[in-house]
């Protein structure tokens, strides 16, 4: 069974630009969650989508947004990039049920210059 796939693996953007990251969940999984990982703040929850609806949201500014498609694939968008947005962005999928464990992809490394 294929794991969680994230594309691209690496991105370099300039401050002020916007970026879109993509995540394909494990086949059959309906929930996709996004996390930001930085050396200073660790792993922080951004948002979760289930059946194309945002089900949970973390404490990030509105510049961070996401969506989920009918095939459960998800995209995350960051607008007006800031230097502090440089991070590893991780996507995790699960069946979506109560208590179901999250399985992570290998992430997209975003560098903002």
Partner 1 sequence: GQQLNQSPQSMFIQEGEDVSMNCTSSSIFNTWLWYKQDPGEGPVLLIALYKAGELTSNGRLTAQFGITRKDSFLNISASIPSDVGIYFCAGRSGGTSYGKLTFGQGTILTVHP
Asked if residue 7 binds partner 1 (CB under 8 A), the reply is no
Q: Interface with partner 1 by CB under 8 A: which range of 12-20, 65-73, 75-83, 97-105?
A: 97-105
Are 55 and 34 a contacting pair, CB within 8 Å?
no
The two tokens of residue 68 are 């989920």
**What is the DSSP secondary-structure string of 20-60?**
EEEEEPPTT--EEEEEEEETTTEEEEEEEEETTEEEEE-S-
Tell me if 28 contacts partner 1 by CB under 8 A: no
Residue 12 interacts with partner 1 (CB under 8 A)? no
Binding residues for partner 1, per CB under 8 A? Answer: 4, 31-33, 42-45, 48, 50, 55-56, 58-59, 90, 92, 94, 96, 98-107
């Amino acid at each position: 069974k294929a794991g969680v796939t994230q594309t691209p693996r690496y991105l370099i953007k300039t401050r002020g630009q916007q970026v879109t990251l993509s995540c394909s969940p494990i086949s059959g999984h309906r929930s996709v969650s996004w996390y930001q990982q930085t050396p200073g703040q660790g792993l922080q929850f951004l948002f979760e989508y289930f059946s194309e609806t945002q089900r949970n949201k973390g404490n990030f500014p509105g510049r961070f947004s996401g969506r989920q498609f009918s095939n459960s694939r998800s995209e995350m968008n960051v607008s007006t990039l800031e230097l502090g947005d440089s991070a590893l962005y991780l996507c995790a999928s699960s069946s979506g049920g109560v208590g179901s464990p999250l399985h992570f992809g290998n992430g997209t490394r975003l560098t903002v210059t």
